[in-house]
A and B are shown apart, each in its own frame.
Chain A
Amino acid sequence: EAQVTQNPRYLITVTGKKLTVTCSQNMNHEYMSWYRQDPGLGLRQIYYSMNVEATDKGDVPEGYKVSRKEKRNFPLILESPSPNQTSLYFCASSSQRGARPTTDTQYFGPGTRLTVL
């Protein structure tokens, strides 16, 4: 089954304790992205990756890091989490190959609810 997986689904942590949220896709997609969802703000992009070893900032990258060492994985790293990073996080992926509109649909993971105390 084609899917994007995220782990953990729920996480409660304390300020300053480094954490990683994993994201993996099994569709051989080139493009992967992280979003955060906050009430009244919709979803905002944090970082994205066009392919292995190619990442770039989105709209709200402060306080986050990413890496893309393998095509299928795109972990989100919070090295020193703060309470303002309490949010719902989504990973998404899409293909950059083939005819349009195939390349235009982003597949979302199930979300990770993060609470930073």
Chain B
Amino acid sequence: AQTVTQSQPEMSVQEAETVTLSCTYDTSESDYYLFWYKQPPSRQMILVIRQEAYKQQNATENRFSVNFQKAAKSFSLKISDSQLGDAAMYFCAYRKGTSGSRLTFGEGTQLTVNP
């Protein structure tokens, strides 16, 4: 079974600084997707960034980027120029490439942004 681990329950960063959230996963599949979701206090689940395993290039979305290390099964999220609105719970998630597969989530990392 696939597992996703986020070893940092809490992280904090100063406004305008950079922070990296860690995620590791375990799978025997070669075709899969990885995601980072943001959950602000409103509880809404917001997709931040997505990485296809078959792509070697790391995904980037504005201030958010990932470091995808396929051999190490590591998928970290880097937030640059942190803003107060980035404060949220962040979940790493894995999904097999086959149609209809479930999302397997990590435990979450609570990010605090200090002014």
Using CB atoms and an 8 Å cutoff, list the residues of chain A in contact with chain B: 31, 33, 35, 40-45, 48, 50, 58-59, 88, 90, 92, 96, 100-101, 103-106, 108, 110-111, 113
Contact = CB atoms under 8 A, between A and B. Distances in A.
Interface of B: 4, 6, 9, 33, 42-45, 47, 50, 52, 91, 93, 95, 97, 99-100, 102-103, 105-108
A48 B100 contact: yes
Given A110-B43, A111-B44, A42 B108 contact: yes
A41 B107 contact: yes
Contacts of A111: 43-45
B43 A88 contact: yes
A101 B100 contact: no
Given A45-B103, A58-B102, 20 more contacts: A40-B107, A40-B108, A42-B4, A42-B6, A42-B106, A42-B107, A43-B103, A44-B105, A48-B100, A50-B100, A90-B45, A92-B103, A100-B97, A101-B50, A104-B50, A105-B50, A108-B44, A108-B45, A110-B43, A111-B45
A41 B52 CA distance: 24
A45 B105 CA distance: 9
Contact of A48 (B93, B102, B105, B108): B102
